[in-house]
Structure 1
Amino acid sequence: MAALTRHDTFCWDCCVENTTLKCSNCPRSFHPKCARSKKRNDCETWRCPICIELDATKNTDDKECLDMLPIMINRVLNDEKFASLKVPLKGAKPDCLVNLIDLTKINDKIYSYTSFFEFLTDIQCIVHNCLILFSDKHDMVKTAKSLEEYLEHEIKSVKKCIECYSNANKHPTNWSTMVCAKPHLVLWAKVIGYNYWPGKCMKVEGDMVNVRFFGDYTEADVLATNCFLYSKTNPSVKSIKPSDRYKLALKDADKYIQNIRKTFGSYKLAETKTPFDPTLLNQYLLDSIPGAGSSPIVSKGITDGSSDALINALEDQIHSDADSSTLPRDVSMNKSTSIDSTQANAATEVNSKDNPSDSTDSLNPKSEHIKQIEEQVRFPDDNDGEVTQKKFDNDSNIEINIDSINRALDEDSMEYCHIPVVQPVDAEITTETWNLSKCREVMAESTKAFECVCDLNAKLQDEMKNLVAKYDRQITDLEQRNQQMIAIQDENERSAKKLIDDLMLKICQLEIEKSEYDKMMLVHNEMIVRKDEERMKAVSEANKLCEENYACRLEANKKLKFCVACDASKPQDTFYVCSPECQTRYWMQMDQ
């Protein structure tokens, strides 16, 4: 393994600097108390607990379960809550963090993970980087920790039932009522603060039962003493007021049971208040779903009680079908090596000498002994997954002595014929059993097989050359395409650079225009202020002049005299009559 360039200066447990234990296999470092190690100095052979657990969990998870990782990461990438973790962390510097990882990089290598723990270590690396850059109460740290908790919950859901998880992503509306290959037992379960509620038994660990409730699809770990087998009536002593959520849960439970009945034939409801014993889960399944016991795959999966049971049962059924099938006796020489029927007859002659009573059976080419020797099994080969036959498998009691054949053919003598070419393990060989002609027949068959192998090798070499030429052409095409893409990218970069330069020039012009506009606005504001001052001054002068005119007119009005007849005003100091008509009117009034 290549030497590590640099170790992390922050502890991977407490995220504090000044670490003394540095892993020889990865960049992680720890404090001795955090790593629970007695070593105080660096050690070339010391490995951190994470590397040890990575080796222990490597290839332990089923490939089908790991196939759910792309679904998980897609759900995370589509969630706006984790959008800030899809890009490198802001403020991150290479000299501060040794692994600048984000959700996008994890998505790029999602198919390379060999276990869930390896996947979670990269998620923990994001949390570690956030704790280094930000405080514990920062929003980025809270988001990273919530991401880790979310993915841990998702992985637990996958391990409980991969089919339920897959159905939840493919059929988000009705996945809770879909039936898995290994059906789940329906229970009445009670959580503190709630009444008994219908749900599916997902997993049993000791006295705790993980239940996924119908209606709202929530999960909870419930004590086995708070669980009853599903019955028609609720086991609760108190009367339950049927709410909308409760009605929906009952409807989903009934639909799930109906789907089980369609798949397996029936589902027997238990009597009210039938207690649930977690040790008898498999028996409950077989009693409630009798149709599951008729299927060897499902029944074995129920009996084993593991997620791998269905796959193992399917493989066992395939092998059992292969052993019980009958295939043609003709064996292709280019697929497997076979022994001529004369060898089997010779072996039969040996046994007939030892057992005279079976001599009549030895004359029959279809005797039981020959059938045992020529037992045929099916095995997969390179012929597009087809099956062919092979004689004398590992269970055969025949061994080929090639040295005996070579010496007999080279020297053409009978002195080596007493050495058997085909040696039955459980039979005694005599010199009368084998002869040179039979050895030559066997060798001829071997020569044919060798020629077929040579022909196959030549064909394979031709195919290899064709594949190499094909791959070379593909590589050439890809290189040309890559060059074209590079040219296009360079052209785009040049265009982008030119566009950026034009934008910067326009920005500079706009800044200059803005400065000129600011100056003009300043002059304009000064002019407005000056005009306002002049206007206010003119208004004050006009007010002052009006006041003076008013005072003058007031003084003049005080000196006015009025006509005794028409009240017309005239600045006179004596009594007067303004006109003859007024004088006449005045005297008429006086006469009256």
Structure 2
Amino acid sequence: MTLRTFGDMYCWCCHLEDAMYSCKKCARSYHRRCVFEMPNYPEPLFNPESMDPSSMDSCPECVAADETVLYSMKNVLPPQLNYILHYVIGKLKSDDFMFENYYDIPKPKAHTRSRAVIVKFMDILTLEKNVKHEVYKSLEGFFGDAKWIRHNVAVLSGRKSDEMTNVEKLIHLIASEMLTIDLCHECYVRKQGENSIENLFITACSRPHLLGWAKTDGITYWPVKIMGIDLGKKIAIVHTFGEHKQLELPLRDCLIYSHDSPSSNRRLQGQLHGWKKACKEMRRHMELVEEKHGKVVLAEEKVRIRCTLSEAVQRMFPDWKLKIMNATALKYADEEELERELEVRDILQQASSADDESSSTDED
């Protein structure tokens, strides 16, 4: 084992020893073979003038944490982001509290193996404090910190231990919440509140959702919001009107919304009542979207998705424009655009105020 005077001796990716590629911004270290093989992460940043080829200016986790690359989160400022994240912490502290062992982990004592090999202590309580103090600038930053819990367990208990199996469930839950937030953080916040599920689906968000038809059962086309698409894997994540389900479907089973349904009444059979209810919800949602974002351009019948989600949304809602918020300055063409973009912050602030009032009432 190579002795180290800085950084982590264990690789962030595989959790094995002799990780010699260290990050200058954090305590993470990597094997050379691992640092360039992190799927869905940006490449590390190296200083070309550095005499030490194993020293990274910024590792993939730090590059990701500095500025979110997630499509839907680019206009969310840190105060609102951390307010959203407090709901994630709430999920981790739910009634059954299956992750209680990771909430308030005892800190390693001096002169122990734990103290020698753990370079960054982390537990759910620490994450909660960071959220309270608005530490995180991106979902990736929060997720990167959460993964220190897994890394520390892997180092202390082993990669194939029972403890590792349990902590993987924690990381999987957080990853699932991150995905849901990325699909639409406004829908995520509303879902935590007291709004009925119907109101959740028909409310128009600041970033409109692509509307479509989807074969939810492989046969019948159902009205849906297309929340995310992966052109590489050829899959789509949809939220169904009426049934209010989240489904992952083959992209070939999804069509851009048209006035006429691709399904005939004959194919609907016993689902006709539910289908009509779903279509009614869709029409009401479209009315609210038109009030908020302008005209909705429907497709011709049976038009498949052959572009990115943002391009498809822009075509369906040509009057809608989203400008990225800057934490220090907001520059918009006119006040109307500014008001439109600040609505998402109003939603979060109202929810936060409601929580504060509820807490005050409980204290009284």
For residues 271 and 48 of structure 1, the distance between their equivalents in structure 2, rounded to whole angstroms, comes to: 45
Aligned match of 1:106:
127
Structure with greater helix percent: 1
Q: What is the DSSP-based 3-state SS (H/G/I as helix, E as strand, rest coil) of the residue aligned with 1:158?
A: helix
Aligned match of 2:225:
200
Aligned match of 1:211:
238
Cα deviation, 1:6-28, whole Å, max 9, x if unaligned, reads 53222111111233333344322
For residues 228 and 46 of structure 1, the distance between their equivalents in structure 2, rounded to whole angstroms, comes to: 45
Aligned match of 1:131:
154
- Are 1:261 and 2:287 an aligned pair? yes
Among 300, 319, 324, which residue is 2:320 paired with? 300
- Are 1:226 and 2:267 an aligned pair? no
Aligned match of 1:140:
163
Aligned match of 2:360:
none
* 1:28 to 1:231, Cα distance in 2 relative to 1, 3 A: same
Q: CA deviation at 1:132?
A: 1.9
Q: What is the DSSP-based 3-state SS (H/G/I as helix, E as strand, rest coil) of the residue aligned with 1:242?
A: helix
Aligned match of 1:21:
21
For residues 229 and 303 of structure 2, the distance between their equivalents in structure 1, rounded to whole angstroms, comes to: 15
Q: CA deviation at 1:97?
A: 1.7
Q: What is the DSSP-based 3-state SS (H/G/I as helix, E as strand, rest coil) of the residue aligned with 2:19?
A: coil
Spell out the pairing of 1:273-312 with structure 2 (5 A cutoff): 273-277=301-305, 278=307, 280-285=312-317, 299-301=319-321
* 1:119 to 1:52, Cα distance in 2 relative to 1, 3 A: closer
- Between the aligned residues of both structures, percent identity stands at 18
For the aligned residue pairs, the C-alpha RMSD in angstroms reads 4.3
* 1:52 to 1:81, Cα distance in 2 relative to 1, 3 A: closer
Conserved 8 A contact 1:99-1:125: yes
* 1:29 to 1:54, Cα distance in 2 relative to 1, 3 A: same
For residues 280 and 12 of structure 1, the distance between their equivalents in structure 2, rounded to whole angstroms, comes to: 38
Conserved 8 A contact 1:210-1:219: yes
Larger gyration radius, structure 1 or structure 2: 1
Q: CA deviation at 1:137?
A: 4.8
**TM-score normalized with structure 1 length:** 0.42
Cα deviation, 1:29-51, whole Å, max 9, x if unaligned, reads 2223223499xx97685446236
Conserved 8 A contact 1:188-1:197: yes
For residues 106 and 219 of structure 2, the distance between their equivalents in structure 1, rounded to whole angstroms, comes to: 43
Spell out the pairing of 1:173-572 with structure 2 (5 A cutoff): 173-174=196-197, 175-190=200-215, 193=218, 195-204=220-229, 206=231, 209-214=236-241, 215-223=243-251, 226-231=254-259, 233=261, 235=263, 239-243=267-271, 247-248=273-274, 250-261=276-287, 264=290, 273-277=301-305, 278=307, 280-285=312-317, 299-301=319-321, 315-318=332-335
Aligned match of 2:67:
57
Among 79, 95, 107, which residue is 2:116 paired with? 95
* 1:99 to 1:17, Cα distance in 2 relative to 1, 3 A: same
* 1:84 to 1:29, Cα distance in 2 relative to 1, 3 A: same
Conserved 8 A contact 1:21-1:42: no
For residues 112 and 313 of structure 1, the distance between their equivalents in structure 2, rounded to whole angstroms, comes to: 21
For residues 260 and 225 of structure 1, the distance between their equivalents in structure 2, rounded to whole angstroms, comes to: 22
Q: What is the DSSP-based 3-state SS (H/G/I as helix, E as strand, rest coil) of the residue aligned with 2:60?
A: helix
**TM-score normalized with structure 2 length:** 0.65
Aligned match of 2:93:
77
* 1:281 to 1:117, Cα distance in 2 relative to 1, 3 A: closer
Whichever residue aligns with residue 258 of structure 1, its letter is R
Cα deviation, 1:365-416, whole Å, max 9, x if unaligned, reads xxxxxxxxxxxxxxxxxxxxxxxxxxxxxxxxxxxxxxxxxxxxxxxxxxxx
| Structure 2 gaps, min length 5 | 37-43, 339-364
Number of aligned residue pairs: give it. Answer: 297
Cα deviation, 1:458-494, whole Å, max 9, x if unaligned, reads xxxxxxxxxxxxxxxxxxxxxxxxxxxxxxxxxxxxx
For residues 148 and 238 of structure 1, the distance between their equivalents in structure 2, rounded to whole angstroms, comes to: 45
For residues 179 and 235 of structure 1, the distance between their equivalents in structure 2, rounded to whole angstroms, comes to: 26
Aligned match of 1:155:
178
Q: Which has the higher contact order (CA 8 A, sep 6+)?
A: 2
Conserved 8 A contact 1:113-1:119: yes
Q: What is the DSSP-based 3-state SS (H/G/I as helix, E as strand, rest coil) of the residue aligned with 2:224?
A: strand
Q: What is the DSSP-based 3-state SS (H/G/I as helix, E as strand, rest coil) of the residue aligned with 1:109?
A: helix
For residues 18 and 248 of structure 1, the distance between their equivalents in structure 2, rounded to whole angstroms, comes to: 59
Aligned match of 2:39:
none
Conserved 8 A contact 1:81-1:143: no
| Structure 1 gaps, min length 5 | 287-298, 322-592
For residues 209 and 226 of structure 1, the distance between their equivalents in structure 2, rounded to whole angstroms, comes to: 8
Cα deviation, 1:296-339, whole Å, max 9, x if unaligned, reads xxx232xx5x7769xx9993222999xxxxxxxxxxxxxxxxxx
For residues 28 and 270 of structure 1, the distance between their equivalents in structure 2, rounded to whole angstroms, comes to: 49
* 1:253 to 1:259, Cα distance in 2 relative to 1, 3 A: same
Whichever residue aligns with residue 287 of structure 2, its letter is R
Whichever residue aligns with residue 191 of structure 2, its letter is A
Q: What is the DSSP-based 3-state SS (H/G/I as helix, E as strand, rest coil) of the residue aligned with 2:137?
A: coil
